[in-house]
Amino acid sequence: MPVVVRAENLSKKYRLGVINRQMLVDQIESWVYRKLGKPDPHASIFEKATDRMPTPHDFWALKDLNFEIERGDIVGIMGRNGSGKSTLLKILSRITAPTTGKAFLHGRLASLLEVGTGFNFELTGKENVFLNGSILGLKDHEIRSRYDRIVEFAEIQDFMDTPVKRYSSGMRVRLAFAVAAHLDPEILILDEVLAVGDAKFQEKCLNRIEEIKNTGVTVLFVSHSVQSVEKLCTSAILLDDGRLVARGSVADVTERYLGVLGMKSAGGLLPGMPESRHGLRCGRMAEILLEHMEGGRLVFGVPVETPAGHVAVDVGWVSSSRLGTLRTEPSWSAAPDISVTVISSTKSPAQAETDAHHLLHSGARESWVFYPNGTLNRYKALNAAFLTPDVPVRIACD
């Protein structure tokens, strides 16, 4: 298959602490004065020895990337936040230029890097569909032939004559994805934009990507969701600290990605091997939840992303409706409705109580801490009622 995307020694450098507010004529004048060995007339008035201005230094967002992508490949691009994924896609989309190296694309490109990318917010939804189609090089009649399908997919028929600036973020991402996926690009770039839509629309978008798999369209798909990458992609790339550290099958790259996150598996964040008493207490918590809760699911050993980092939930109950909207691999994007931490030799009471509050800020409606003496402390979200008002505060389990 022909190569449609190629990166050769691709690097991107930013200077932290520097904001360039000069006009072009000022930059030229500064360059001339430096060449003549004279003081820069546009230099900062602050002395370099003071700390009144931040000290600039170079930050390499990407460093020496080399890869090729063939036509029809569905490539997952993975990596931690700050690993360079979005910078790479901006270079490929011609939004920013590389510092060194080159990027080659052969084919009509459509990119969706964030909500409303490529939209003029003063124009209506209908006008933006035609604007985006024109940018992709389509004729007016070609856009018209696709217009009804775009509107039907976006499910915002009543708002197509409304300026986009009045759209919600969810409406903008619906229209943006519908435009990108139905104007027949040859290369489609998607950067973790589906997280804005609701669960039903996310599934619809993933199904659309499945449909175009066999049409010869090349897709670059950035996602933190291992499930989505495994379901959709034919290969994967892993970036870490701006470097390409793995390229190959989805299974191999996913395993390496979990290693970069410090997780051997999705349950790898549990605080050590639970001793027998810890296991008995987890079992007792499961019995309590099964007794009091219906219409959901029990979960065990769940690593949850919180503002303070990953927190392990020993036992949890999650409603069926929320389970359909959560990303669960490689870690849960939000806490189960009821999240239980069981004190053990590797989890102190102080740490467990701190974790309980982090879990409440990450989507839990209740956060329980179960102590070795059978005491159960229950915390609830602000202004919320307890889901299980009749659970005892002391529970026999030994």
Under 8 Å between Cβ of 271 and 341: no
pTM of the model: 0.60
Give the residue carrying structure tokens 């011609």: 94
Any idea where the domains of the chain sit in the sequence? 3-13+62-260, 19-55, 276-380
User: What is residue 271's predicted lDDT score, i.e. its pLDDT?
Assistant: 37
- Cβ(238)–Cβ(247) below 8 Å: yes
3-13+62-260 and 276-380 share one CATH topology? no
What is the per-residue DSSP string for 204-268?
HHHHHHHHHGGGT-EEEEE-S-HHHHHHH-SEEEEEETTEEEEEE-HHHHHHHHHHHTT-SSTTT
Identify the CATH assignment for 276-380 out of 3.30.450.20, 3.90.1570.10, 3.40.50.300, 1.20.58.760: 3.90.1570.10
- Report the pLDDT value the prediction gives residue 259, as an integer from 0 to 100: 78
pLDDT of residue 298: 92
Class of domain 3-13+62-260: alpha beta
Q: What ranges in 298-378 are assigned the alpha helix state H?
A: 320-323, 349-360
* pLDDT for the residue numbered 269: 35
Per-residue pLDDT of the chain (398 residues; tens, 9 = 90+): 789 999 999 999 887 665 555 667 777 887 788 788 887 776 655 544 444 455 567 788 999 999 999 999 999 999 888 899 989 999 998 888 899 999 999 988 878 776 556 788 899 999 999 988 887 777 889 899 999 999 998 889 999 999 999 998 788 888 888 887 887 788 988 887 666 566 677 778 878 887 877 788 899 988 877 777 888 889 999 999 999 999 999 988 988 887 777 654 433 333 333 344 677 888 889 999 999 998 899 999 899 988 888 888 999 999 988 888 888 888 899 999 999 999 887 788 888 999 999 999 999 999 999 988 889 999 999 888 899 888 988 887 65
pLDDT for 267: 37
